Amino acid sequence: MTKNKYYWIHITEKNLQEIPNLPDNWKFYQVNKYLNSKKYFNITKNSENVIITEENDKVREHEIFWVKDHINYSGSNPLIGKNNEKYGQRFPDMSFPYVVDDRIKEVININSSKKIVIAAGIVNYDSAILLNTPNMVYQAIIANHQEKTFYGFIISNNNGINNFLKLIKTNY
């Protein structure tokens, strides 16, 4: 079985009327909350890179934020429970849960995106932008558990997926 270069998971409360038209080496999956470790493994196992977009009502229509780190004060972790070694190590290194290097610029024009820290739970943190997005945090934990290259983007609820699609370059 061939690997997909990119697996794009879009977290949204709305059902998309149209699935984005993407190249053959991309796969798209829509979900309304984070995927558990087993389901995440099953849908991304043949992928080299995972891109997550999550909609947030605090993001303006044409803004896209590139997630660089998170704070998990939720008191929860998607890896709680019995470990299945097939999905990855029990306690992954979370020093750098999100890839924030230039590798993604090969396929996504992110020059205008702002890099932000997100949170799960209530956090007193001195930051201009701190969005409570537990779904993204939990997906990052699972992706690192499964040693996937993980990119996170927060987009607007209002047509944000179309704005993100415009950033994807045509030469994948």
Dump pLDDT digits (tens) for 53-104. 998 888 888 888 888 888 887 878 877 878 777 777 777 888 888 887 666 7
Residue 172 has a pLDDT of 46
Domain boundaries, the chain: 4-167
Mean pLDDT of 13-36: 81
State the pLDDT confidence band at 168, using cuts at 50, 70 and 90.
Answer: confident
CATH number for the domain whose boundaries are 4-167: 3.40.50.1580
The sheet carrying 4-11 orders its strands as 26-31, 4-11, 47-56, 149-156, 64-72, 114-120, 130-132
Query: Beta partners for 67?
Result: 116
Dump pLDDT digits (tens) for 1-12. 566 788 889 998
Dump pLDDT digits (tens) for 111-159. 656 777 777 776 655 554 567 888 888 888 888 888 888 888 888 888 7
